[in-house]
Amino acid sequence: MKQLALDFIVAPPPALDNFVAGRNAELLQNLRQWAFRDGRERFIYVWGLAGSGRSHLLKGAVAAARDTGASAAYVACSGDTQFGEDAERMDCVAVDDADCLGEAAQVALFNLYNALRERHGMLLVSGNAPPAQLKLRGDLVTRLGWGLVYQVHALSDEEKAQALTRHAAARGFPLSGEVCDYLLSRVRRDMPSLLAMLDALDRHSLESKRPITVPLVRELLQAAQPPGAGKED
């Protein structure tokens, strides 16, 4: 069953449609407009703590833009990231973790911003703090604050449980509070991974003709563990 379990639990690629909005509904709507290039605002800055889903949103927005036929790029920042002419010619660019940029890379992002503005391109940037609190050069901070600015709010455990329960109901099976609590304590806590696990449980339950219980969750997780890993409690 091991390969079957591994196939089941692979999370789907990040997309706007598989991001559970929670308190981020307005942000999600504006990112869809950004991806379709039909909103008034072409520049969006999002910030939030680690695990809030910033990278998921940026990757999902780029994927949605590509689905419309636009040229779009996702850039994960490091200290020496550069943004060349290829990025400047894109319709849509998403720049993740801009707070990591070194001095030269900050100049490059500043130039990219101006180039996209000149060409009527779209820019989506993320960081770990609001623009005014970023330790970046002043002219870049000013640019990042010119467009829409949103905080990405991470889901609470209660909101995650509600999302899992709704997803289970949509697939036609009840999810007990005991199973939900077990998933939240044993599975990666990002929603794509949790929903992928729930889908895996549904398929395994149907194939094995067994109800979805904590022992079934434990069985599936143990089967997916690499050799030598400890067993689930």
pLDDT tens for the 233 residues of the chain, in order? 444 444 445 667 889 998 889 999 999 999 999 999 987 889 999 999 887 889 999 999 999 999 999 999 999 999 999 888 899 999 999 999 999 999 999 999 999 999 999 999 999 999 999 999 999 999 999 999 999 999 999 889 999 999 899 889 988 889 999 999 999 999 888 887 888 888 889 988 988 899 999 999 998 888 876 555 544 44
**Domain shared by 140 and 31, yes or no:** yes
What is the domain count for the chain? Answer: 2
Residue 231 in any domain: the answer is no
Query: What are 163-185's pLDDT values in tens digits?
Result: 899 889 988 889 999 999 999 99
160 shares its domain with 131: no
Q: Is residue 43 part of a domain?
A: yes
Domain annotation covers residue 121? yes
Q: Are residues 183 and 207 in the same domain?
A: yes
For residue 229, being part of any structural domain is answered with no
If asked whether residues 119 and 146 sit together in one domain, one would say yes
CATH code: domain of residue 125:
3.40.50.300
Q: Among residues 151, 178, 196, which one ends one of the domains?
A: 151
Residue 224 confidence (pLDDT):
72
Residue range of the domain that includes 212: 2-10+155-224
CATH number at residue 201: 1.10.8.60
Is residue 232 one of the residues assigned to a domain?
A: no
Q: Give Cβ neighbours of residue 85 (< 8 Å, ≥ 6 apart).
A: none
Return d(Cα 168, Cα 157) in angstroms, integer.
16
Are 211 and 196 contained in the same domain?
yes
Residues 29 and 140 in one domain: yes
Distance from the first to the final alpha carbon of the chain: 19
| Alpha-carbon 131 to chain mean position | 20
Q: What is the mean pLDDT of the chain?
A: 89
Instruction: Indicate whether 105 and 207 sit together in one domain.
Output: no
Q: Determine how many CB atoms are found less than 10 A away from the CB of residue 228.
A: 5
